Amino acid sequence: MNSSYGSGVGPQRNIRVVLRTRPTAEFAGDIIKLQPGGKSVNIHIPKDPTGEGGHINNKQENWDFRFDNVYHNVGQETLYDECAAPLVKGMFQGLNGTIMAYGQTGAGKTFTMAGATENYKHRGLIPRVISQVFKEISEKPQMAATVWVSYLEIYQEQIVDLLTTVDGAEDSTSALIVVDDKSGGASVRGLNLMIANNEEDALNYLFEGETNKSISEHQMNKVSSRSHCIFTLHIEARSRQENSEKVLYSKMNLVDLAGSERISKTQTTGTSLREAMYINKSLTFLEQVVIALADRRREHIPYRQSKLTNVLRDSLGGNCNTLVIACIWGERQHIEETVSTLRFASRMMCVTNTPTVNVQYDPMALIKKYEKEVKDLRQEL
């Protein structure tokens, strides 16, 4: 297990940022120098001999980046074990978790989060998190836990519930909006929260959500890389011991962000331009929030500027362990996007988070406890 996450209360780096490369035979190893088994990346963009501007508009030739880890040709299991498993452990200590995949379309975000269904070995982080959550619960017979699942998509600043078609779900009639919840975090009013009794239930919800995503893509004539998708697992756990008053709440957001590519010269009108503008805006706000968090003097964090930052309010710099997976497609033709992704990810490296444990006290259990104490005292007298 990785020990660089903070385990409790107090300022520490609770955002970890790792780099993952999509496997390709045309990896531009002459430009992108990865330290084998290490944490740093150097990008050297050679001068263009034609003098016409090289591969990248920006004139800088050398870039050095440092991350918590670099995963090049690394499979799903290792990525999960090293990066995600500690966050699941944290959930059972009452710490929220967020895992976000960032990068241009085609860089491997969906492969990383959801994985490839045709090969069990290629299962992504989401099904693995689900699996571990239920395994942890089964290993703690002294604990009574309830798990809920929600799945939403943010497309052009509209929140879409991806679980309205599952049995027992309600069709969202009114617009879904983000509201403040009791603990200072955020929740989405009207979003279906489905109880998952076991791993299979949760996987079915994931599958149903994926199916709905493709239906909405078809209806809206879009591709999924144009929206941000957030699958969330919520846990409430309490000890089965009689009169136990401690209730632990936590949630894990699993976020497949929209493709971060810049607006291209061909996207001058219509839906694709509008989509690109919404995406660029929301990713810029995400970055602004991250930068504001890194600057400890800043008291105001501009979470409310976009749906994405608002939904993730308690998962960015809040009560949370966060993992950012920057996905790159290391071919020469994509070098500009790669530099852009690495720059974003390296800015995320500066953020300090302060997680606190979500434990609340059940008033009825407390009353029972005090009643018992009074009874015991009376007996002693």
Residues lying near ligand ADP in the complex (CB under 6 A) are found at: 22-23, 103, 105-111, 116, 225, 259, 327
- The number of residues that bind Mg ion (CB under 5 A) is 3
Residue 106 assigned ligand-binding role: yes
Q: Is 107 marked as a binding-site residue?
A: yes
To the question of whether residue 182 is assigned a binding role by annotation, the answer is no
Q: Which helix (H) or strand (E) holds 12?
A: none
**103 annotated as belonging to a binding site for a ligand:** yes
Query: Which amino acid, 274?
Result: R
Q: How far is the CB of 173 from ligand ADP (least distance, A)?
A: 31
Question: In terms of DSSP H, where are the helices of 317-362?
Answer: 335-348
Q: Structure tokens of 119?
A: 């090969």
- Interface with Mg ion, residue 260, by CB under 5 A: no
Position of minimal CB gap to ligand ADP:
108
Shortest Å distance, C-beta 85 to ligand ADP: 18
State the nearest-atom distance from the C-beta of 15 to ligand ADP, in Å: 21
How far is residue 369 from each of residues 239, 240, 285, 373, measured CA to CA in Å?
14, 14, 47, 6
Contact 310, 186 (CB under 8 A): yes
- SS3 of residue 220 by DSSP: helix
- Closer residue to Mg ion (CB): 110 or 306: 110
With tokens 């209730």, the residue in question is: 247
Convert residues 282-321 into a mask of x (bound to Mg ion by CB under 5 A) and - (unbound): ----------------------------------------
Site residues (CB under 5 A) for Mg ion, limited to 214-233: 225
Residue 94 touches which of Mg ion, ligand ADP, none (CB < 5 to 8 A by kind)? Answer: none
Q: How far apart are CA 212 and CA 227, in angstroms?
A: 13
Say if strands 96-102 and 320-328 run parallel, antiparallel, or are unpaired.
Answer: parallel
Q: Closer to ligand ADP at the Cβ: 97 or 106?
A: 106
Distance CA 191, CA 152 (A): 8
Q: Which residue has the tokens 């957030």?
A: 230
Annotated binding site: 103-110
Residues belonging to the binding site for ATP are 103-110
